[in-house]
Amino acid sequence: MLNKVPEVTVYFWIIKLLCTTVGESFADYVNETLGFGLTNTTLLFSAALVVALVAQFRLNRYVPGIYWLAVVLIGVVGTLLTDNLTDARGVPLWISTTAFAALLAVVFGIWYARERTLSIHTIVTTPREAFYWLAVLVTFALGTAAGDWTLELTGWSPGAAVLLPLGLLLAGIGFIVLALGALSKGSEKQAGEQQPAPAS
């Protein structure tokens, strides 16, 4: 089996963002405009997700159409899971955010304990692919819960609320870039010190 996940480049994130936006907008259209209701919309998209994942798991390599269809549907279903807990079950957002964060940590923990890697460049076995898609599903549910909780806590508009996670993301990227730069300079300095002195 070849790796079944595309290379993570800037284009990957752009496509992922567009897929998520289109998918969730379509789900809102089915739920609210067509009047399907939250429960029926969740069942509809969950059934479509199962079909897409069966197709995805049957493949032995990365096929863009099937992969990105699964991304769209799993993003919608992950979002709907949080919406159901909040709107239909009355679960407070801080509880769902905490629960999904803990669940994601458990998924990553079991994944690593079993496979000894979390690299998406080695999605070459069925168990690794199963862990990958489960982590993606929980991530979408967590993102929705944390985003809605941010709105609830701050009272900001959705546009302004984007600034908080965006700021944290940029700070994280900046920290990683600085850390990698420092490590690179340290390695270069150490390599220079280990070079023998030129003969006189």
Mean pLDDT is lowest, of 33-37, 101-105, 143-147, 154-158, for 154-158
For residues 144-169, give the mean pLDDT: 77
Mean pLDDT across the chain = 85
pLDDT grade for 113, boundaries at 50, 70 and 90: very high
Cα 127–44–16 angle (5° rounding)? 55
C-alpha distances in Å from residue 118, one per residue of 5, 52, 115: 13, 23, 8
pLDDT given at position 175: 82
The larger pLDDT score, comparing residue 181 to residue 52, is at 52
Percent of the chain surpassing pLDDT 70:
88
SS3 of 60-77: the string is: CCCCHHHHHHHHHHHHHH
Give domain limits for the chain.
10-159
**Stronger pLDDT, 77 or 15, i.e. the higher one:** 77
- Please name the residues in contact with 93: beta carbons below 8 A apart, sequence gap of 6 or more: 86, 145, 148, 149, 152
Looking at 116-162, list the stretches that DSSP marks H as alpha helix, in order from N- to C-terminal side: 126-154, 158-161
- pTM for the full model? 0.79
Categorize the per-residue pLDDT at 91 as very low, low, confident or very high, splitting at 50, 70 and 90: very high
Least confident of 141-145, 173-177, 196-200: 196-200
